[in-house]
Chains A and B, each alone.
Chain A
Amino acid sequence: MSTITQDTTEAHDGHSHDDHGHDDHHHGAPKGIMRWILTTNHKDIGSLYLWFSFIMFLTGGAMAMVIRAELFQPGLQLVDPNFFNQMTTVHGLIMVFGAVMPAFTGLANWLIPMMIGAPDMALPRMNNWSFWILPFAFAILLSSLFMEGGGPNFGWTFYAPLSTTYSPDTTALFVFSVHIMGISSIMGAINVVVTIVNMRAPGMTWMKLPLFVWTWLITAFLLIAVMPVLAGAVTMVLTDKYFGTSFFDAAGGGDPVMFQHIFWFFGHPEVYIMILPSFGIISAIVPTFSRKKLFGYSSMVYATSSIAILSFLVWAHHMFTTGMPVFAELFFMYCTMLIAVPTGVKVFNWVATMWRGSITFETPMLFAVAFIILFTIGGFSGLMLAITPADFQYHDTYFVVAHFHYVLVTGAVYSIMAAAYYWLPKWTGHMYSETLGRWHFWCSTISVNVLFFPMHFLGLAGMPRRIPDYAIQFADVNQIVSIGGFAFGLSQLIFLAVVIKCIRGGEKAADKPWEGAEGLEWTIASPAPYHSFTTPPEVK
């Protein structure tokens, strides 16, 4: 039993540890490839999710590079328009379902059991299933790019009739790959909810939960609620295209606008699925490096819940130009603006946390501060888009592209980067290279603004989205944007180098490498033992 002592937290707090009924699992990780394929360990599965997400991030990023290369000059340069459309579509699908969502699920897997003092996720085998569906789902999606007729080319929002009447033959593969992605997400989310509700250590009451856990609980609820609606939407696309139904065809009594209602009923909560965990991450990092407690913990919890509830009432703000009745336009406009209130509470609390703190700017904090500033810019452009009459002007222009890249890249992706730097010492047992980390941060932050900020101007000047060619007067700005894009893409290779270097070696990380950090994950060894908290810690 001596190995157990080293493996678990008891080594630190001296608790007894007899007959847990599963001694045979106490030795370390199994070896070889089968470890990863058959694993039921939340840390292994977390690592799989994170690596998968990073590979998808680079894949989707490569497609973005194709897009930016084509848009470097006006006229058709490198690819034909159909392929350009496939790139914009698959770039979006991969970044949403393959990069951002799995990254958050990976973080949830790694961190939630450690943060709440649980031995593992509640349903470890299902956890493995949720992960391993994903590589297959994306293999199907990506393989359709190489088939006759090409892959999906109707935008990641697959509006009917683009996805029904005018879509390529391979649309069925798109539909079924989305189906199994959805199954994966729902199972992952159920696992998270059950783990949080049921597996907290004694004394870990609701209002003591770390905010990352809170935000993920609410995210998981949103996932379970809306992923099935997406499944319904793709099913109707499938039957409309192949089985003669007319859900989205007015000739049969349906309505193409109905597609948008169903899609965005999923799609808007989906947007918050991709940002709420970020709020949790930032709420962990900002207090650590400000060496202060988080300002307004309970208001953060209530703000997150309000955002989640409101997210079900705002979907049609994506559809202001479809000719909805004025009452609906007003309703969705006001509800959307209401979201600025809880979001404002959050930003205020982060700033108030930093106020008069003794702040240091290690890489995680750099990313967190950049998140607060740049995400807020994305939030403000979102407010502009929420104003119905203004949206008539902005709709389907590069202004929208700028908006959602500010919230998704400098929002979601930045928070994921911040989280990676923050918890890498706990995961690997080594400190990452602070110098390289800063290089990564500054290269990314300068280039990402060169990339996305001018898009606002392009949009306001009237450049439409998803078109491979543009009027000559947009040429200069597009060139600047493309250069920013290539630089941002290259900067991410620095991150890859940092992570590999950190896994292979480096300065030994203390159990709690950040002096201001709080939370159960810092009470166990670095690197975190294969099984943490087989006996629950007492939370006071």
Chain B
Amino acid sequence: MTTKHENYYVPAQSVWPITGAIGLFLIAFGAGSYVQQLATEDTSGGYILVAGIAVIIFMLFGWFKNVIDESMSGLYSAQMDRSFRQGMSWFIFSEIMFFGAFFGALFYARMVAIPWLGGSSNNAMTHEVLWPTFEAMWPLVKTPDGTTTEAMPWTGLPLYNTLILLASSVTLHFAHVSLEKSKRSALKVWLGLTILLGIGFLFLQVEEYVHAYQEMGLTLSSGIYGNTFFLLTGFHGMHVTLGTVFLIILFCRVLKGHFTPESHFAFQSGSWYWHFVDVVWLCLFIFVYVI
């Protein structure tokens, strides 16, 4: 009989999952109501949404504290560590598929919908009957119903942001290597640097949005170009925000002396997540900005 299974740890009853379920309920119900109330004076949905987010944050603190305590008291076996790692990998895979839906929409609009509206393939009559003056192009700066906008150039802010994120992946890798070699001070420096780069990226992203809205007239409702631009970069930005918070928590844990060269699942998954966010940005940069 192998021994690794005998260390299996079935956690006792826990209040955190049901707390999380209630939090998600409040978020879903609150966000749903809030969106419905956009056209009205009523803002009650917004309060429910904020309450839900607060419950989720409370839940995350409680749940993670539980897990960290269990981890620090050595309750986790190598097998459980593998379970966590695999769970995290599959979670990242699901995130890739989520972005895939929006990239799919981008490609479909560019390669199929817009050329067809412009009369390509056998769609001459579609073009003639619907919007005869419409010109197929990408970025679509003039929609069939006449909304005009400007395309975001890839030089300038987006290019800086690309370099920042690429650099942050490298610094995070150095942090990881330092952790594995037990160089704690180097670990703190590299990890701290990564967090700063993440925050810098988010700052420039906000700059870019302000620029787009105020000077370029590129908004969420400027047709399919603005739609895909803002939803792709927006969801990516949300992931960078989450990743940065993740890294900050890791930084605090590093300061408290957590993680060993052998056992650092949380650090590993934070790093995986960050690299994933970085790769998504690269695809974004190529397909949304450059090409």
- Taking Cβ atoms with an 8 Å cutoff, the residues of A that contact B are 15, 19-22, 24-25, 30, 34-35, 37-41, 119-120, 122-126, 128-129, 132-133, 136-137, 139-140, 169-170, 172-177, 179-180, 183, 186, 189-191, 193-195, 197-199, 201-202, 224-229, 231-233, 235-236, 238-239, 242-247, 250-255, 257-258, 261-262, 265, 325, 531, 534-536, 538
Contact of B144 among A137, A253, A531 (CB under 8 A): A253
* Complex interface bits, B24-48 against A, C-beta within 8 A gives 1, otherwise 0: 1101110111011010000000000
**Which A residues are CB-close (under 8 A) to B91?**
186, 190
B-side interface residues, number (CB < 8 Å): 74
Segment with Cβ contacts to A, from B100-108, B190-198, B201-209, B210-218: B100-108
B39–chain A nearest beta-carbon distance, Å: 9
6 more CB-based (< 8 A) A-B contacts, given A140-B32, A186-B94, A258-B112: A128-B18, A245-B226, A253-B114, A253-B224, A258-B109, A535-B6
Task: Kindly state the separation between the CA atoms of A233 and B108 in the bound complex, as whole angstroms.
Answer: 14
Chain B residues contacting A132 (CB-CB under 8 Å) are 17-18, 21
Does B261 belong to the interface (CB within 8 Å)?
Answer: no
- Tell me if B225 and A22 are in contact (CB < 8 A): no
Q: How far is the CB of A114 from chain B (nearest CB, A)?
A: 14
Contact B83 A122 (CB under 8 A): yes
Docked-complex contact A227 and B108, CB < 8 angstroms: no
A258 touches B113 (CB 8 A): yes
Dominant secondary structure of chain A at its interface with chain B: helix
Asked if B24 and A40 make an inter-chain contact with CB atoms under 8 angstroms apart, the answer reads no
B12 engages A40 (CB within 8 Å): yes
Name B94-141 residues within 8 Å CB distance of A: 94-95, 97-98, 100-102, 104-105, 108-109, 112-114, 116-117, 121-122, 130, 140
CA distance A137 to B32 in the complex (A): 12
Nearest residue, chain B, Cβ from A202: B2
The smallest C-beta distance from B223 to any residue of chain A, in angstroms, reads: 4
B8 lies within 8 A of chain A by Cβ: yes
Instruction: Tell me the complex Cα distance, A535–B6, Å.
Output: 6
A523 CB to nearest chain B CB (Å): 16
> Could you tell me the distance in whole angstroms from the C-beta of B253 to the nearest C-beta in chain A?
20
Q: Is B108 a contact of A246 with CB atoms below 8 Å? A: no
A252 touches B227 (CB 8 A): yes
Q: Which of A123, A191, A224, A254 contacts B97 (CB under 8 A)?
A: A224
| CB-based nearest B residue for A257 | B113
- For B90, the chain A residues whose CB sits under 8 A away are 189-190, 193-194, 224
Asked if B20 contacts A129 (CB within 8 A), the reply is yes
Is there contact, CB below 8 Å, between A21 and B14?
no
The 5 closest A-B pairs by CB, nearest first: A232-B101, A244-B221, A253-B224, A136-B25, A228-B98
Minimum Cβ distance to chain A for residue B76 (Å): 10
**Beta-carbon contact of A258 and B221 below 8 Å:** no
**Separation of A238 and B98 alpha carbons in the complex (Å):** 15
Q: Known contacts A38-B13, A193-B90; decide if A180 and B24 are in contact (CB<8 Å).
A: yes
In angstroms, how far is the closest chain A Cβ from the Cβ of B10? 5
Q: State whether A242 and B97 are in contact (beta carbons under 8 Å apart), knowing that A129-B21, A190-B90, A202-B2 are contacts in the complex.
A: no
1/0 contact string of B1-23 vs chain A (CB within 8 Å): 11001111111111111101110
B262 within 8 A of partner (CB) = no
In the bound complex, CA of A136 to CA of B26 (Å): 9
Given the complex, which residues of A lie within 8 Å of B108, measured CB to CB?
Answer: 255, 258, 261
- Contact residues in B for A129 (Cβ distance below 8 Å): 16-18, 20-21
Residue in chain B with minimal CB distance to A136: B25
What are 15 contact pairs spanning A and B, CB under 8 A?
A: A21-B7, A22-B9, A25-B10, A119-B5, A132-B18, A194-B86, A228-B97, A229-B104, A233-B101, A245-B220, A250-B117, A252-B224, A253-B117, A258-B108, A535-B1
Q: Which residues of B contact A (CB under 8 A)?
A: 1-2, 5-18, 20-22, 24-25, 27-29, 31-33, 35-36, 38, 63, 75, 79-80, 82-84, 86-87, 90-91, 93-95, 97-98, 100-102, 104-105, 108-109, 112-114, 116-117, 121-122, 130, 140, 143-145, 147, 220-221, 223-227, 231
Q: How far is the CA of A19 from the CA of B9 in the complex (A)?
A: 11
- Chain A, residue nearest B80 (CB): A122
Are A239 and B231 in contact (CB-based, < 8 A)?
yes
CA–CA, A227 and B21, complex, Å: 18
Query: Which of B24, B104, B221 counts the most chain A CB atoms within 10 A?
Result: B24
B230 to chain A, nearest CB (A): 8
Supposing A239-B227, A255-B108 touch, asked if A38 and B31 sit within 8 A by C-beta, the answer is no
Which of B11, B13, B17, B63 has the most chain A CB atoms inside 10 A of its CB? Answer: B17
Query: CB distance A175 to B32 under 8 Å?
Result: yes
Closest-CB distance, A481 to chain B (whole angstroms): 36
How far is B108's CA from A236's CA once the two chains are assembled, in angstroms? 14
The answer on a CB contact under 8 Å between B14 and A125 is yes
- Residue numbers in B under 8 Å from A177 (CB-CB): 28, 32
**Bound complex: CA A169 to CA B117 (Å):** 30
- Are A126 and B17 in contact (CB-based, < 8 A)? yes
Contact in complex: B18, A38 (CB < 8 Å): yes
The interface residues of chain A lying within 8 Å CB-to-CB of B100 are 228-229, 232
Q: State how many angstroms separate the Cβ of B122 from the closest Cβ of chain A.
A: 8
From the candidates A119, A169, A179, name the one contacting B8 in the complex (CB within 8 A): A119
